[in-house]
């Protein structure tokens, strides 16, 4: 029986409220095997042999044409994909070895979801690095739509006990190392869902079985759920969009991120000339045409 199932079973036995439906015959341990830290060889998406795991939904994503998600697939954007690889390297080589990364911004529409998808995608290109991308923005859950994946069961259902982790996670067919946990369908307030022992134990289990966890979350301090998610993360990456992010809001938001968790900013929709001028920030160069 795989480690993740054992962990889920333990959580259930401890009465933490995670609903677990453990099949008698299951061997999916390889799916959640931790990767060596130093491995940086990239696999082409879809090329590597996949371990079959009938217990997880494996679904092919259908990224709409012209999308800025995953710029190394379909309409390849060399400049953007290179910038995401730089971000990846900075994350992987960060001295604090962050595992759970929260992608946020000062306000709606700055590019949190695009950045979370692309950072998770870049991390998942590494050989043997299992990456879980979580849509933890219950109010603006656009992540699955952007990837052309069905939403359905997800984090909210895991937290309210209406499904198990293995029922909610989607394996992305084209990306051997990428797993997605949709936001799910919620009946109660997200803050109540997250202010629970189930969230605590779910984080512990996820940490144990994935090399990186990337969370798409609401804007900084906008809602109570934000704080509850931030409390569990190792690092915060703030997305700034020069033509969109309000300067005052942005400065206030940056001050609210605990210093020890602040990893840096992603400058989304940066002009090409800015990319040539500076190497100080994490930059996503989409070029002037994307403005």
Task: Pick between residue 7 and residue 117 the one whose CB is nearest to ligand ATP.
Answer: 117
Partner whose binding site includes residue 68, from Mg ion, ligand ATP, none (CB under 5 to 8 Å by kind): ligand ATP
Q: CB of 120: closest distance to ligand ATP in angstroms? A: 13
| 113 contacts Mg ion (rule: CB under 5 A) | yes
Task: Pick between residue 233 and residue 269 the one whose CB is nearest to ligand ATP.
Answer: 269
Task: Pick between residue 113 and residue 130 the one whose CB is nearest to Mg ion.
Answer: 113
Partner whose binding site includes residue 268, from ligand ATP, Mg ion, none (CB under 5 to 8 Å by kind): ligand ATP
User: Contact positions toward ligand ATP, by CB under 6 A?
Assistant: 68, 105, 108-114, 137, 140, 142, 268-269, 284, 286, 290
Partner whose binding site includes residue 138, from ligand ATP, Mg ion, none (CB under 5 to 8 Å by kind): none
Q: What gap in Å lies between CA 192 and CA 159, rounded to an integer?
A: 9
CA distances in angstroms from 40 to 10, 37, 126, 144, 266, listed in the order given: 33, 8, 5, 27, 22
Task: Kindly indicate which of the ranges 65-73, 78-86, 132-140, 224-232 contains the residues binding Mg ion, using the contact rule CB under 5 A.
Answer: 132-140
Q: CB of 96: closest distance to Mg ion in angstroms? A: 25
Task: Kindly indicate which of the ranges 21-29, 95-103, 141-149, 221-229 contains the residues binding Mg ion, using the contact rule CB under 5 A.
Answer: 141-149
158-217 binders of Mg ion (CB under 5 A): none
Task: Pick between residue 56 and residue 87 the one whose CB is nearest to ligand ATP.
Answer: 87
Partner whose binding site includes residue 109, from ligand ATP, Mg ion, none (CB under 5 to 8 Å by kind): ligand ATP
Would you list the DSSP string of 150-175?
---S-HHHHHTTSS-HHHH-EEETT-
Q: CB of 259: closest distance to ligand ATP in angstroms? A: 23
Task: Pick between residue 166 and residue 268 the one whose CB is nearest to ligand ATP.
Answer: 268
**Closest listed residue to residue 76, CA positions, set 85, 86, 66:** 66
Task: Pick between residue 114 and residue 215 the one whose CB is nearest to ligand ATP.
Answer: 114
Task: Kindly indicate which of the ranges 49-57, 140-148, 239-247, 250-258 contains the residues binding Mg ion, using the contact rule CB under 5 A.
Answer: 140-148
Task: Pick between residue 142 and residue 264 the one whose CB is nearest to Mg ion.
Answer: 142
Q: CB of 142: closest distance to Mg ion in angstroms? A: 5
**Closest listed residue to residue 280, CA positions, set 100, 105, 102, 86:** 86
Q: CB of 176: closest distance to Mg ion in angstroms? A: 25
- Chain positions contacting Mg ion, by CB under 5 A: 112-113, 140, 142
């Amino acid at each position: 029986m795989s480690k993740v199932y054992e962990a889920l079973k333990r959580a259930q036995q401890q009465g933490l409220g995670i609903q677990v439906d453990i099949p008698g015959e299951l061997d999916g341990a390889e799916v959640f095997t931790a990767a060596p830290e130093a491995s940086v060889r990239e696999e082409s998406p879809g090329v590597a042999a996949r371990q079959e795991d009938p217990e997880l939904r494996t679904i092919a994503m259908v990224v709409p044409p012209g999308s800025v998600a995953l710029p190394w697939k379909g309409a390849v954007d060399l400049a953007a994909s290179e910038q995401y690889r730089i971000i990846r390297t900075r994350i992987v080589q960060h001295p604090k070895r962050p595992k759970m990364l929260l992608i946020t911004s000062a306000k709606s529409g700055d590019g949190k979801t695009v950045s979370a998808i692309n950072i998770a995608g870049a991390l998942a290109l590494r050989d043997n690095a299992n990456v879980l991308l979580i849509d933890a923005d219950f109010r603006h859950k656009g992540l699955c739509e952007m990837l052309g994946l069905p939403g359905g069961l997800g984090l909210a259902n895991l937290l309210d006990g209406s499904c198990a982790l293995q029922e909610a996670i989607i394996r992305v067919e084209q990306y051997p190392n990428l797993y997605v946990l949709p936001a799910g369908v919620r009946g109660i307030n997200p803050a109540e869902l997250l202010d629970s022992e189930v969230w605590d134990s779910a984080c512990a289990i996820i940490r144990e079985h994935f090399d990186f966890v990337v969370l798409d979350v609401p804007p900084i301090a906008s809602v109570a759920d934000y704080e509850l998610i931030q409390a569990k993360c190792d690092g915060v990456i703030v997305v700034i969009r020069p033509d969109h992010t309000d300067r005052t809001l942005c400065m206030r938001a940056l001050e609210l991120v605990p210093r020890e968790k602040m990893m840096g900013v992603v400058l989304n929709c940066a002009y090409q000339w800015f990319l040539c001028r500076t190497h100080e920030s994490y930059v996503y160069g989409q070029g002037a045409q994307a403005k």
